[in-house]
Chains A and B, each alone.
Chain A
């Protein structure tokens, strides 16, 4: 149900939490604790293009830190933030299970890697 709401609205608002709780006949806090436990449930709207960059060992060995720095500079935002125009948001995440294409990130539903500055530029230019 949480997946369904997020798919429709892009995030799960406090109002949605209430509605879900009423529908299931459980306290709102039970819905909230589940949403806040899992990092794929968003409590705030994300950008149209949401970059989740992996920082765990295999990606880190091949330059994840530089990728994150580059994206921060390029988008002008910190991890956890969204650009003012709502186009891009950035997160730093732990292993996404694609170490063979390290360094990598997930852009909305798609996996991308091995990343280079050029690939990131291309992606950002295509999305603006």
Chain B
């Protein structure tokens, strides 16, 4: 299995420019800037089947293609490093262990879309990532990989880091733009899409850190090579983040076509000793939970969509048989209730409502009518809000009730839980 994104991660000083240059660093940028036209770069990315690795899985080349070429306004690239989807921690590793891969991706992308300014929006808690990336930016300016006349060409580019301030919703691309403009992170109504009216009213592409880190490799090795690493309509590798009840939590770079079973058992060391798998969240907390019978699914965007979940951000959270699914649903609902930005009523009121019901059931105070009401409340959030946060509440929380209904019924009928006491022993 060929590692691309993580190949430097375990080297000493992997964040330094000289380490990066030692292994064909900035060759992709050099090739793009000196031998290719922006249109050729964009075409190559389209052919590679690279899809947005922040969670939505939108075709990257197509996204770039929406930037109008005849618009006289400045164009911007905004890097979404507001990694907040629970279960996800890959972008942190890229920024801390291989920041120049991100910067090279930024250079190539800006060249393709005709942008001369890129903003990297990093979540405020990632202080170390910001420091390391800033160090890399300074090095890149010194060596002429950023700034005026990059690599002796006439292409100029400035890169600026902007720290977030603790709001999950700012990972939503238009909320991120609002935040970058100094406002509350309220998602915008679309259309207009950011490609036409984005940051400061100008055409803007917003890409995830990992997506951009893939870009230089596609330029160096070619679109076909990259597409072949993955599966049909979904090229390349991605970094899966595994956490929860596994023996070896951490990041694993694998083909997007790897099965969930292989990731859990062959790579992440399987379930902790003496226990067996009960449920898995395959792509961050917003994805529908899967039962132990569903893990033979491939982890590409289309396969997971076909079984009613999503590949999302690649954050895999594994739960063994000691986990009470009512409690797990309550934890997810609590997250959504806490992070709803409050702009749309169905989400603001609905997420809090769902959490209170879940908490009640969890505490042994559930009523039979709760289970009857839940699908209606949960179902009326998704599709009725400005952004996809509402859909996430519907998909994620709804899936626990649908797939583990008997546990909810048991809690309501018996007014107790046989499993939450087991959690005490989890903490060693």
A13 to B158, CA, bound (A): 34
Q: Is the CB of A56 within 8 A of B182?
A: no
A63 contacts partner chain B, Cβ-Cβ < 8 Å: yes
Question: Chain B, 245-269, contact with A by CB distance < 8 Å: what is the 0/1 string?
Answer: 1000111000000000000000000
User: Other CB < 8 Å A-B pairs besides A38-B124, A40-B165, A56-B331, 7 of them?
Assistant: A34-B184, A56-B335, A57-B332, A65-B423, A95-B84, A95-B85, A97-B125
- Chain A residue contacts of B89, Cβ below 8 A: 97-100
Those of A7-36 within 8 Å (CB) of chain B: 33-34
Q: Which residue of A lies closest to B322 (CB)?
A: A61
Give me 5 A-to-B residue pairs in the complex whose CB atoms sit less than 8 angstroms apart, sorted by A's number. A57-B244, A61-B245, A66-B427, A99-B243, A109-B128
A66 to B319, CA, bound (A): 18
A52 to B166, CA, bound (A): 12
B183 contacts partner chain A, Cβ-Cβ < 8 Å: yes
Question: Chain B, 112-131, contact with A by CB distance < 8 Å: what is the 0/1 string?
Answer: 00000000000111111000
- Chain B residue contacts of A58, Cβ below 8 A: 86-87, 243-244, 249, 317
A41 to B182, CA, bound (A): 13
B residues whose Cβ falls under 8 Å from a Cβ of A: 83-89, 91-92, 123-128, 163-168, 182-185, 241-245, 249-251, 281, 285, 315, 317, 319, 323, 328, 331-332, 334-335, 338-339, 341, 423-424, 426-428
Main secondary structure of the interface of A (DSSP, over half): mixed
Q: Is the CB of B427 within 8 A of A57?
A: no
Q: Is the CB of A37 within 8 A of B125?
A: no
- Chain B residue contacts of A62, Cβ below 8 A: 244-245, 426-427
Q: Is the CB of A40 within 8 A of B166?
A: yes
A60 contacts partner chain B, Cβ-Cβ < 8 Å: yes
- Chain B residue contacts of A37, Cβ below 8 A: 167, 184-185, 341
Q: Is the CB of B86 within 8 A of A34?
A: no
A39 to B92, CA, bound (A): 20
Question: Chain A, 46-84, contact with B by CB distance < 8 Å: what is the 0/1 string?
Answer: 000000100111101111011100000000000000000
A110 to B127, CA, bound (A): 8
- Chain A residue contacts of B128, Cβ below 8 A: 109-111
Q: Is the CB of B427 within 8 A of A103?
A: yes
Q: Which residue of B lies closest to A103 (CB)?
A: B427
A3 to B249, CA, bound (A): 33
- Chain B residue contacts of A109, Cβ below 8 A: 127-128
- Chain B residue contacts of A56, Cβ below 8 A: 86, 285, 331, 335
A7 to B87, CA, bound (A): 29
Q: Is the CB of A60 within 8 A of B331?
A: yes
- Chain A residue contacts of B182, Cβ below 8 A: 34
Q: Is the CB of B166 within 8 A of A97?
A: no
- Chain A residue contacts of B168, Cβ below 8 A: 94-95
Q: Within the complex, what minimum Cβ distance (angstroms) separates B229 from chain A?
A: 24
Q: Is the CB of B125 within 8 A of A40?
A: yes
Q: Within the complex, what minimum Cβ distance (angstroms) separates B280 from chain A?
A: 11
A104 to B203, CA, bound (A): 39
A63 to B423, CA, bound (A): 7
A116 to B89, CA, bound (A): 21
